[in-house]
Amino acid sequence: MREKNRRGIAAMLIAAGLFSFMDSGLKLLSPHYPAIQVAALRSLASMPLVVAYIAWRGAFRRVLNARWSLHLLRSAVGIGVLAMFAFGVRRLPLSEAYSLFFVAPLLITALSAVVLKERVEPARWIAVVVGLSGVLVVLRPTGEGLMTLGGLAVLAASAGYAVTAILVRIIGRTDSMESLVFWPMVMMSVGATAIAAPGWVPVRFEHAWILSGIAVFGFFGQLAITEAFRESEASAVAPFEYTGLAWSVALDWILWRALPDRYTLLGATIIVGSGLYLVRREKVHLEAEHP
């Protein structure tokens, strides 16, 4: 299991970076389109790559063997997560939205203990709590963004994301990797587009490059995060979501010239440090088991 955890952690580190770039694209689109349409565009943009991936793997037959009810539940929650997050990042800096969203690893760790009956070692709880303290530092002692509509939307997205992470672990016990990637993308594309259709805003040609970036980063991020949660312990992998905060701080500066203040820098240091501690701990345990 520790070897699987190390692979899952590596996949999560990759996913965190890829999704940070994708989320920057969502933030760039959010002033121009309704939040639910942004969610639909994210799924629709990645669909051609998903279909090409399944065809390349020759896995359409494996895709049909699926636990439909759980895929449908995961997709419905996923639509809500994307819409709420798009709504939140329209109103908050990316780094602050990420700070609020990173309540998710704590929720995933708690749910993995309750729902999946995973044994969560004290060191993991400590690392998650330390990482969460870094999030609180980023929020500053006042927690200004917490009780805004944008902040509440991001918190709702965080809770929904924690549920989808647990569902991936449950579905992954019986369904193929291809099924885990294909069906949520199909169902989210159809569902979000149907909901957005009455208020659909024509997509501008100048946003094509943003949609292309969302497609590529979203597709490979989906592969990476599905792999991260598929066989690894959710409680071991989840804290590494925190590394996305470092990416969000950098992207805030590059795209919006929003300089992080000392609280953000200190919080990011605490968050990344807790993740590095867990990496080191998993490595030590693996080496002890396989000298």
What are the extents of the domains in the chain?
2-289
Largest CA distance in the chain: 61
Average pLDDT over residues 237-258: 83
Per-residue pLDDT tens over the stretch 152-166: 888 899 999 999 999
The number of helix segments (H) and strand segments (E) in the chain equals: 13, 0
Q: Are 275 and 44 in contact (CB under 8 A)?
A: no
Higher pLDDT, residue 247 or 147: 247
- In residues, how long is the chain? 291
Per-residue pLDDT tens over the stretch 75-109: 999 999 999 999 988 888 887 788 778 788 778 88
Q: What share of the chain is helix, strand, coil (3-state, %, to 5)?
A: 80, 0, 20
Residues whose CB is less than 8 angstroms from the CB of residue 275 and which lie 6 or more positions away in sequence, other chains included: 127, 131, 239, 240, 242, 243
Q: Return the structure tokens found at 250.
A: 């950098």
Residues whose CB is less than 8 angstroms from the CB of residue 81 and which lie 6 or more positions away in sequence, other chains included: 157, 160, 161, 164
Q: Return the structure tokens found at 101.
A: 């969203």
| pTM score, whole prediction | 0.80
User: Is the pLDDT reported for residue 204 higher than 80?
Assistant: yes
Query: Given this model, what pLDDT does residue 155 score?
Result: 85
